[in-house]
Amino acid sequence: MSVLEGAERLGGGCRSEELTLPGFVHDTCSTVHALALISPFLRDLPLAEHGFEPAQPEAPAAHPLDDGSAVILERSVNDTARGLGPDAGAYRSLYGPLVPRADELVGDTLGPPRPPRHPLLLARFGLSAIRSAYGLARSRFEGERARALLAGHCAHSMLSLRTPASAAFGLMLAVGAHAVGWPVARGGSQRLADAMAEHLRSLGGTLETGRHVDSLEDLPDDGARLLDVTPRELLRIAGERLPETYRRRIGRYRFGPGVFKLDWALDAPIPWTAPEVARAGTVHLGGTLDEIAASEDAAVSGRHYERPFVLLVQPSRFDPTRAPEGKHTAWAYCHLPPGSTRDTTAAIEAQVERFAPGFRDLVLGRSAMGPAEIERRNPNYVGGDINGGVQDLRQLWTRPVARADPYSTPLPGVFLCSSSTPPGGGVHGMCGYWAARSALRV
């Protein structure tokens, strides 16, 4: 088996670089690897033998509020519930039955549509997951703390929080946080990609970088060809060979909002007003449910929001190898209209200052990437969309098109295996796993 990678370095969404200053290691894309730990495929690989080591923050996530307090997503459902005042019981009843069966739930959801093995469990999850994040937050919880916490998780979906099924992503992320945590890879996400590459080599596979594929002729044709590309790239690579109807259908594939990302080299840890935020790996900056919903509505409808919802990760707090002694790294991004050229550095940093006054004074170096730069570095992020296409009800299970086997294409032996196939974005390896199964069936 051979892997051809267009970039000069392996890893795609799992790469690390010194983006700011020497000695500061930044993940260019993914950092938090909950999905890798919970993935039925990745967790069976001997990645630890090849150098992948998860570093767990004490708490998966924190959500600071304007009153100077913070809601903490703890590893335990009960400990999290205790911070939610009147919504403690509602929180326990939402997640309590799901978390102990996280493996079964993941087995039934991280893949193409198929008859579930655990229909009652899936139905229980589905009743909440099918709802809009906004509707679920308001009907399940009465207090702002629990509503804001749910909104922060669900906003990872890059959907409007008023869209049906926008709750699904957030619920799954929270189940993962309670079941396996939200770790970072010690030394940077590149270690996860490198461990996978080492494993492949140990099985006799080969990998070549700097081999951008422009046509099917660039690929060996003595076996299955799995393309880790978007439908747009598939059209470019195999366009004329694809039947007209399939071409038209994948041409209608929808991409979502983009991201604007900042990486910082910092002189000291971020000085959060609520000291408990320091215990968390991921920090959701956006205040209340209403404020986060307004920010996500703006991004999906082509507008920029003045105080955007910001996802921040502070990996060096839990992995000292990321920065020189005493120094720190952090990254943050916000969602904005696809392909936007607006520089949102000031808006993102204002959100950090809002909950951590004095933050700006600690910045030693900064790297900024808007949607165009993100796509230039990796063609899978069209217009800065890091999920490989909109993940709403219409497109989550039917990516790239509605087809009995979404990984196959009308071309014999040619398969798609990117996040533009089920189950969509994130570092879980399940798109490739299912595509490989599909190829082996042929």
| Residues lying near ligand FAD in the complex (CB under 6 A) | 4-7, 12-13, 29-32, 35, 212-213, 228-229, 233, 259, 261, 333, 374, 378-381, 386-388, 418-419, 425-427
**Beta carbon nearer to ligand FAD, 37 or 90:** 37
Nearer CB in complex with ligand FAD: 87/233: 233
Alpha carbons 102 and 108: distance in angstroms, whole number: 10
Which amino acid is it at 334? C
Distance of closest approach, residue 209 Cβ to ligand FAD, in angstroms: 9
* Spatial CA neighbour of 434 closest among 389, 403, 390: 403
The minimum distance between CB 28 and ligand FAD, in angstroms, equals 7
**Shortest reach from residue 343's CB to ligand FAD, in Å:** 16
**Nearer to ligand FAD by C-beta: 81 or 332?**
332
Q: How many other C-beta atoms can be found within 10 angstroms of the C-beta atom of residue 428?
A: 25
Nearest distance in Å: CB 45, ligand FAD:
16
Give the nearest distance from C-beta 321 to ligand FAD in angstroms: 18
User: Which one, 12 or 383, has the nearer CB to ligand FAD?
Assistant: 12
Q: Which is nearer to ligand FAD, 164 or 379 (CB)?
A: 379
* Least Å from the CB of residue 377 to ligand FAD: 8
The CB-of-416 to ligand FAD minimum distance in angstroms stands at 10
For the CB of residue 427, give the shortest distance to ligand FAD in the complex, in Å. Answer: 4
| CB nearer ligand FAD, residue 129 or residue 382 | 382
Cβ proximity to ligand FAD, 41 vs 162, nearer residue: 41
Smaller CB separation from ligand FAD, 6 or 413: 6
Q: What is the 3-state secondary structure (H, E, C) of the chain?
A: CEEECCCCCCCCCCCEECCCCCCCCEECCCCECHHHHHCCCHHHCCCHHHCCCEECCCEEEEEECCCCCEEEECCCHHHHHHCCHHHHHHHHHHHCCCHHHHHHHHHHHCCCCCCCCCHHHHHHHHHHHCCCHHHHHHHHCCCHHHHHHHHHHHHHHCCCCCCCCHHHHHHHHHHHHHHHCCCEECCCCHHHHHHHHHHHHHCCCEEECCCCCCCHHHCCCCCCEEECCCHHHHHHHHHHHCCHHHHHHHHCCCCCCEEEEEEEEECCCCCCCCHHHHHEEEEEECCCHHHHHHHHHHHHCCCCCCCCCEEEECHHHCCHHHCCCCCEEEEEEEEECCCCCCCCHHHHHHHHHHHCCCHHHHEEEEEEECHHHHHHHCCCCHHHCCCCCCCCHHHHCCCCCCCCCCCECCCCCEEECCCCCCCCCCCCCHHHHHHHHHHHHC
Smallest separation (angstroms) from ligand FAD to the CB of 406? 14
CB of 38 vs ligand FAD, minimal distance in Å: 10
Question: In this complex, which beta carbon is closest to ligand FAD, that of residue 165 or of residue 374?
Answer: 374
- For residues 271 and 413, which CB has a smaller minimum distance to ligand FAD in the complex? 413
Q: How far is CA 15 from CA 53, 188, 189, 208, 266, in A?
A: 15, 8, 6, 16, 20
Q: What is the identity of the amino acid at 384?
A: G
Q: How far apart are CA 67 and CA 289, in angstroms?
A: 15
Nearer Cβ to ligand FAD (6/116): 6
- Beta carbon of residue 371, minimum distance to ligand FAD (angstroms, whole number): 10
